[in-house]
Amino acid sequence: MRMSAPRLIGTLALGGALLASAACGPLDSITGGNKKTACNNIKADLTAIKSKVSQPDASNLRSSSAANARLYRETASKIRSEGAKAGGDVKSSSDKVASDLESLATVLGNIGSGSTSTPNMSGSRNFIQDAADLGRACGYTG
């Protein structure tokens, strides 16, 4: 099934919002300053996606796709860096979420460059689950 570019971008924007909400429940208890700080920073980065994502612009789809691709790549880099500071389960979970974001960025980047190929969404298959795993590793519930 082929997905139109505007529909794909809308789905990715919704996915970003779901990702942020899935990983950002209330804080139970987190031990260790590096882990707590890293998790709080990851939470802030994921929450920021919702307000920064560009809405699909049918008249200039390439521009909004390219902007969102940059946003997802930048966020992935920040999440990966913060996860490395925390180590353990947070690191492995944040690496998965960062990889998911980079896969989405690649799809958006292809749209932004004018590629007419069918988007490969296999990298986003576990997007929400990986975010939930990251939330659990950080000690968030809900």
Residue 135 or 8, more confident: 135
On whether residue 23 sits in a domain, the answer given is no
The parent domain of residue 103 ranges over 37-137
User: What CA–CA distances, in Å, run from 136 to 40, 62, 139?
Assistant: 13, 36, 5
- On the CB side of 75, CA atoms within 13 Å amount to 30
- For 34-99, the DSSP string reads HHHHHHHHHHHHHHHHHHHPPPP-GGGHHHHHHHHHHHHHHHHHHHHHHHHHH-HHHHHHHHHHHH
Confidence of residue 123 (pLDDT cuts 50, 70, 90): low
User: Would you say residue 91 has pLDDT above 80?
Assistant: yes
Residue-level pLDDT at 77: 96
Residue-level pLDDT at 61: 76
User: Mean pLDDT over residues 77-102, rounded?
Assistant: 94
**Placement of tokens 């896969």 in the chain:** 103
For residue range 38-64, what is the model confidence (pLDDT) as tens digits? 999 999 999 998 888 887 777 777 788
Q: What percent of the chain has pLDDT over 70?
A: 66
Number of domains in the chain: 1
- Is the CB of residue 69 less than 8 Å from the CB of residue 18? no
On whether residue 4 sits in a domain, the answer given is no
User: Would you say residue 81 has pLDDT above 90?
Assistant: yes
Confidence of residue 89 (pLDDT cuts 50, 70, 90): very high
On whether residue 76 sits in a domain, the answer given is yes
